[in-house]
Structure 1
Amino acid sequence: MSIRILSKFVATLILCISIIPGTAQESPDTDYYDHITLFSDGRITRFTQMPIKVFISSVIKESPYLPEIRYAMREWETASEQLIRFQETDTPDNADIRVSWGYSSLMDIHDTRLGSAQLRRIPNQQATDKDNKVIINVEIILMLEGDDIITELSEVEMRTVCLHEFGHAIGLWGHSPHPGDICYPTATAQHPSQRDLSTLHKLYNTAINTPQHDDAIKALKTEIIQEPREHYPHFLIGNVYYDKGDMESAIESYKNCLQINEHFQPAIEKLLKAYEAIGQLSTAINLLEQRVKEEPRAADYNTLGIHYYNRGEVNRAIDAFKKAVALEPFHKASKHNLHQLFREKTLHALKAKDFKTAEQMCEKIIQLNPMDSTTYMLMGEGYAYAGLYNTAIDYYKKALKLNPVSRITKRGLAQSYNNYGVTLRNSKKWDDAIAAYHKALEIQPAFHIARTNLSDAFWQKANTLRNAGQLDEAIKAYLELQKLQPKDTQISSLLGELYLKKRDYTAAVAAFHRVYLANPDDPQARHNLIAAYHQSAQHLIDRKDFGSAIELLQKALVVAPNESNIRLSLAHAYQSIGEYERAQTELDRVKKSDPNNQQATTEQINLYIRRGNDLVQQKNFPAALNHFNAIPETERDVVINNIIGYLYLVQGQYSDALTVFDKVISQDPLNRPTYQNLVSLEAQVANRIFGRNKTDILIHARCLLAICLINQNKFDAALTKFQQAKNGKSEKHQELLYNTGTKLLSRLEAQNDIERSAMIREWIGELNYNPNKVLDDR
């Protein structure tokens, strides 16, 4: 990176007149066109585009003289009939003319004792035509205080000063010899004269950069004759010769200037340039080196430093600038140039990743200018370029502390935080990466890349925690991510899943509901919401909160009216609160759409049982029997069959009850409730029924009781019941008696009970069955 070395007078022309009024010459001249290039190197210099942009410094704006400055601009506009137009701007970098406050004692060159206009020509690299190859830039300095000889100006006086300096700024780079003109050296006019305007119109009808060297030289020679001891006309004529290319005459003029004022720095610098143009720069530098040995001056050392630098002798340039600063610690140009060279070394060191040297140079720069935020910013850029983002951040923060409004520094700091976050993210340091991205966004809220990276870090963190089973921390991470991406339904889906795992069903339903609202036609979104409703409802059912469960299930049916599982759960909930008709309605809908739904069958059986039990409690035995009988036989267990047998029993339907009890005993001979029901049935029949039917029922009941008793190891009681059944002498039940006796015999033989086995054989024989044949058949 190249640096820009400054002197106190680089490409700058400052207008000057004597503060002692000269002899005014009355003349019939209608203009002073031949005098308007004395301060612009003998060349027409004016603006080519309107409006001319004017920046007025904040100090001037707060002063009482702002109206006079604006008066001068309006007066030139009006008098020129809008040939000249001004436009104020708040941005100094874009201004054509900058108006600022100055101090008389600090100026090398004055136009008047109250102000000056400084001209700068800046090469225009983008110019496509010759008229725009140079950009004109003017700085008007009003010296309103700091000089004991200057007292507070009146409005009239300040208007004259402003009109005069703006006249130079718009292209009248010389002084009129006529006292009535605004560009007269000691003017008092309040308005541009006709000669001023005629000269202005002639100027703007002349092509920019038109040479008028001869006219300028003639006018300046006249001034030199009139004021032979004034150094400044010699300097100006030297500039004209220099621009004309007559270097010998330029050198002679600069020497004449220095003979009168040996410390006039602009002449020294232009003299060196003239020698350089004819290839004798070394000679000039040797003379200047000899000069500083004899009489050291900061300005001379600064000039030497500039030329050393231009010859590539950077270290000698640094030494020269150091000596200048040592002589005059507040010498602005040399201090600036030394600062720039240190910065150049800093940048070279950073590019080479020589951070030790860069740090040393940075310290030297800060010693020169503790408020130099730019150097800290450049250090930040260097470390950031090397990938050392943490160190870069430290330097950017120092720069921002000194210059809180620097957009470049803010951008660099934000980028470093972002890049540092990427480094941390790649190391799976999610929290640190997130903190870095947040810092980047605090500095630049619209930093899209940082926001994207922040989202990515939260994704990575949340997914890692979810996979590790750290549900609470994962949920927190997803919620933070949701703030960044509120429309991302995947986040809500993942949150819903985590809430379900935590059994936070309310939150799960809310999360899945957001997804469903965003994508109502998405089957997965619908499925997840239904599942959340269902699980939440099941949880409420388990807690016996049937009302809330029903409310949720009804909401689920709005989303999925054909979802069988929802209707089955709703049927279950209705059953649980005694809403049997509603439960049956839901079951009927399921069976209609899915006749083979096994869960529906199970729920229907449960509904029959629940309704049957309620009816039993109400002693509505016929209705209860209907519900239990509605249960398919293949789905009845011994409990249900025992209940059915009991319901037959309490209604006096003994034969039907025995048929059912027989099934139970065949499956579970030790079933206690059935045994008790059989005892009750035997007693009721014995006491309430008469006739042959009574005998048949008792034989059947006693055979079943005998089987129950033998399985309870109550052998004598079993034999007694069998004997009572046998004594009923019923031909109809010979097979039942035979089978019962055979079961008793088998059990007794297994117990090696010879005596009772013989008794059973005998009783079986009395049934006209051969006991041996029975055994053989068995």
Structure 2
Amino acid sequence: MKKKFLGTVCCLALCTIIGSSNVFAAPAGAFGEHYEAAQNYLMQNQYSSSIVEFRKALRINFLDNSARIGLINAYLARATYYANQDKNYEKAANDFRSAIFYLKIYPNKEQAVQNSAGMITSAAENLNQCLKVISFDTTAGSRYKEAEELRAAGNFSAAAYEFSRAAQSEKLAADSNAQIADLLKLLGNEPRSADYYKIALDLKPNDGVLRMKYARTLDKLGRYDEAVVQYNEALANSKGDQEVLYALERIYLKKLAQTPSDAELNANIGAIKQAQGDFETALSYYGKAEQLNPSNVTTRLNVGTLFQQRKEYQKAIQSYDSVLTLYPNNTQALLYKAQVYKEMGDGKTAMGLYKKVLAIDPSNAAAKDEIAMVMKDTMSPSEYIAYLSQNGSSDELYDYAYKLHKENKIDEAISAYKSSISKNSSKVDAYVNLAICYASKDDYNNAVSVLNTAKEKFPANNLVLKTLQDVQKDSTSTKLASASSSYEAKDYKMAVQQYLAINPATEDSMLGAAASYQAMGDYNSAIEYYKRAEKLNPNNTETPYYIGYLYSEQKNWALAEAYLKKALQLNPQSDAKELLSYVVQNGSLTVLNEGIDLYEKNNYQTALLKFNEVLKKEANNAYAYYYRGLIYDEQKQPKLAINDYLNVLKYSNEFPIANYMLAVDYDTLSNYKEAFKYYQKFISSYSTDDEYLKYAKSRLEELRPYAS
């Protein structure tokens, strides 16, 4: 495979460029030493040393074209060496970047750039080839990041080039141009720095820091009129920034030294001193300005505002009246005078002056605002809301509502929010805040209603949806707390009403209603609502326990057992365990008694089912075995009966009669030996002298031969 080489970049022909009319001869001294050293290093192919010396020379005289050209040649030569000899394409790329920077960005004159068009194209092609080799990401974001890294590494010229490429992105244009301006400033080229600050500021006019950088640069360049414009703009947005005031004062004083009879300069310095709080000096400059130009309205207005700041209201009024005597319709003087009366507490006079301003200039926003302020200060909230509803905007009503809301004047805030919505129903915040006001009064029905209206108008608005969710949650919590208070006060009927009024129903509301019914002894209703609670949360281990307990109180042992088992299934450590034992026992006793009753009525088949049911739950129930044995005897099934009678004796010593029944059944089966044994056990354990005992003794004697 053939090796690829970058085409050797031709060095700029020095004579070609210095033919321009604005080339400066290299002077002697430090500049000359660095320039000469740089040329010698370049001729000896010591490119890095040459670059260092050319840069030093440019720092001394940034306008020197020959030093700039020499630096470009050194960068191009070193870039070619890095690419073709060292194969270090990253370093080569940085040098090509720097060369293009000094060819295209650094020069003050467009002619210099035009003369270098061929070299710019050639350097750009070689740079692109290097970037392709190193797989450089040429997106705007990547270039901006690379520029930041180059700047951090101190490679300012290469960084500035990459910022210039990033500036092609609309999103990054302002910041990129500001970065280029900073770098040009660092490299000593203040004029070009100012150019790039202006470009950046045009793109980002509200950036106060950027504006101050531009103003300082213009100031340093002696472009005072332009600097003043920028400082004044910065001052308007910074509310008395002392650095700005000092800079303006310095410029104006410098100008005043040249033209001391300039009334406007004296007035401007007076305004600066006033802003600095130096009122006496300010009055002195205002006095000079007025002497030089007695008809200047601005000076008199400024004097009035100064006295107003010092709360010397009568003097302020005199200053404003001096203007109004000459110009009765001067709205600024009328406004300032109205403000003085307002500050003095004379709202009526202030209002008259504000209205006069509006009669002269119906669109005067300041007068409208001031009238609103006077109205606000002199009217009750309800009166002011009515005034704004007739004369104000939806935004003014909203702002006033918000103020009342913050002051916890909830009823008035509700009225203002509603009036704001009636004027403009598209402001989502008004609905949300109105709902919050209602909720703070525990008026959740209105709060939810307002938010549901907002939800219809703004179905995808997350603020509305979240507030609705929060209000519903708070509403439920408040209602639950109220119902709980009624329950604690033993007003169970009221508690039930309050719990059941909660919509949508929650597990807690259903549990509360159930507990209230339980406290009133209405177990059926209690069970119903416990079941509704269980449906809402099937994993609550307590709910089936409560249901099981109530069924046990109703002696509904089967259902009690079912719910208690459910509780234990959810939580094996539940208190249901102890109650279940009691329920099972009582349930079995009930079934047992039902079986005995059926047995006594000769309903053997149904009775048998009952005894089987008992033994399925209690395998040690001697009574069930005994009665089932009796049924088997009636059914002529002695073998089955024998098994049950044996279990009777196994689980209880309270049934001596079981020995008799065994003896009779064994006797029936001709098992005389076993019959003899059980007759004998019966006689020894049975003390009642009845027919059973008499028969047993008689039969025992008859079976004695079978005893052994």
- Radius of gyration: which is bigger? 1
TM-score by length of 2: 0.45
Normalized per residue, the structure richer in strand is 1
TM-score by length of 1: 0.41
Higher relative contact order (CA 8 A, sep 6+): 1
